[in-house]
């Protein structure tokens, strides 16, 4: 019967809509065929090619790859700081067309304002979102406490150690409570002890808040120690070469068999590529 067919059609549409909706509820980030080309010196530079990627809500994903493979470009597209040349990025089910409060990003070079104190650096994102100075400082103070920066709250960045600067950069990304944290090589400029301490703090923060975390690193060890899913980028084609899953719970033992085997596998994959840059 025609009516029956129509109803069946409606049911199918409803089911499709429902599953699209539930997908949007469980996925945090989705990239569909995302590519990015830059124009530099009169020629086109491939920064990212054909990225298809879904990151579930509340997961901890690490991205590892040689210099120039497109890792920072990927984070900036997710954060809405640059637009893809083709393809589409979605965050929390919304098409990314510019910066949003869904994502907090920590940049490779910290990018702190040298003339602002620790507290005022952390308060800044709330000030530009129109919060009163008082409300911004109160929220910043809570973050300062959470990150153990009380003694440094009134200092300028030039008077901070590398680890403290990194904490301030993290604080600035956390203060407006984004659902997603995008971290671009956050620990690469730190000494080994500070780096280990901050890695552990990040895992605690993740377990406490269940944010989605995407962390870019050059270190295969760090990618395996922190990531539930590890994405390996290739600098030969600026795209995803492979993805891996680590099952161990946090805190992880860096000497465990699972991590040792995973590190060897990924090092072998990257070792076959020449280092660039």
Ligand X SMILES: Nc1ncnc2c1ncn2[C@@H]1O[C@H](COP(=O)(O)OP(=O)(O)OP(=O)(O)O)[C@@H](O)[C@H]1O
Give CA 158 to chain center in angstroms: 26
Q: What is the 3-state secondary structure (H, E, C) of 110-142?
A: CCCCCCCCHHHHHHHHHHHCCCCHHHHHHHHHH
Q: Does 72 bind ligand X (CB under 6 A)?
A: yes
Q: Using the rule CB under 6 A, is 84 a contact of ligand X?
A: no
How far from each other are the two terminal CA atoms of the chain, in whole angstroms?
Answer: 66
Alpha carbon distance 180, 105 (integer Å): 8
Least distance from ligand X to the Cβ atom of residue 275, Å: 10
Tokens of 200: 């552990």
Q: Which is nearer to ligand X, 73 or 228 (CB)?
A: 73
Q: Is the CB of 71 or the CB of 172 nearer to ligand X?
A: 71
38 touching ligand X, by CB under 6 A: yes
| Nearer to Mg ion (CB atom), residue 120 or residue 185 | 185
With contacts defined by CB under 6 A, name the span among 13-21, 53-61, 62-70, 239-247 that binds ligand X.
62-70
| Residue 73 interacting with ligand X (CB under 6 A) | yes
CA 186-57-12 angle, to 5 degrees, is 150
The DSSP element (H or E) to which 205 belongs, if any, is helix 192-209
Residue 25: helix, strand or coil by DSSP?
helix
Nearest-angstrom CA–CA distance, 266 and 277: 20
Q: How far is the CB of 76 from ligand X (least distance, A)?
A: 8
Stretch (H or E) spanning 170? helix 162-174
Q: How far is the CB of 203 from ligand X (least distance, A)?
A: 23
Using the minimum distance from each CB to ligand X, give the nearer residue, 38 or 250: 38
Distance (Å, whole) CA 167 – CA 106? 10
Residue 239 is a binding residue for Mg ion (CB under 5 A): no
Tell which one of 23, 26, 44, 67 touches ligand X (CB under 6 A): 67
Residue list 66-95, contact with Mg ion (CB under 5 A): 72
CB of 28 to ligand X, least distance (A): 21
The helix or strand, by DSSP H or E, that contains position 162, with its residue range, turns out to be: helix 162-174
Number of residues that bind Mg ion (CB under 5 A): 1
Using CB under 6 A, pick the residue from 28, 34, 71, 121 that binds ligand X.
71
67's contact among Mg ion, ligand X, none, with CB below 5 to 8 A by partner kind, is: ligand X
Nearer to Mg ion, 120 or 184 (CB): 184
Q: Specify whether the backbone of 53 is left (phi greater than 0), alpha (psi in -120 to 50) or beta.
A: beta
DSSP 39: E
The residue ranges that bind Mg ion (CB under 5 A) are 72
Binding residues vs ligand X (CB under 6 A): 38, 40, 45, 47, 65, 67-73, 277
């Amino acid at each position: 019967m025609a009516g029956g067919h129509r109803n069946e059609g409606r049911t199918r549409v409803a089911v499709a809509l429902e599953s699209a909706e539930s997908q949007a509820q469980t996925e945090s980030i989705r990239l569909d065929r995302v590519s990015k080309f830059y124009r530099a010196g009169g020629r086109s530079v491939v920064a990212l090619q054909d990225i298809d990627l879904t990151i579930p809500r509340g997961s901890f994903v690490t991205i590892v790859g040689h210099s120039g493979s497109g890792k920072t470009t990927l984070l900036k597209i997710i954060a809405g700081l640059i637009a893809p040349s083709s393809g589409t990025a979605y965050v929390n089910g919304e098409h990314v067309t510019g910066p949003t409060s869904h994502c907090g990003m920590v940049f490779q070079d910290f990018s702190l304002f040298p003339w602002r104190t620790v507290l005022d650096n952390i308060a800044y994102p709330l000030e530009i979102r129109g919060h009163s100075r008082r409300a911004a400082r109160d929220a910043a103070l809570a973050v300062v406490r959470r990150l153990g920066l009380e003694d440094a709250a009134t200092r300028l960045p030039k008077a901070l150690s590398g680890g403290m600067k990194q904490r301030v950069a993290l604080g600035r990304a956390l203060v407006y409570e984004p659902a997603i944290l995008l971290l671009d090589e956050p620990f690469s400029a730190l000494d080994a002890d500070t780096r280990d301490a901050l890695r552990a703090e990040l895992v605690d923060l993740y377990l406490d808040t269940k944010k989605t975390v995407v962390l870019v690193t050059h270190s295969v060890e760090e990618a395996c120690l922190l990531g539930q899913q590890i994405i390996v980028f290739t600098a030969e084609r600026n795209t995803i070469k492979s993805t891996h899953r680590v099952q161990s719970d946090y805190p992880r033992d860096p000497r465990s068999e699972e991590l040792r085997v995973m590190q060897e596998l990924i090092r072998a994959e990257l070792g076959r590529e020449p280092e660039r840059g």
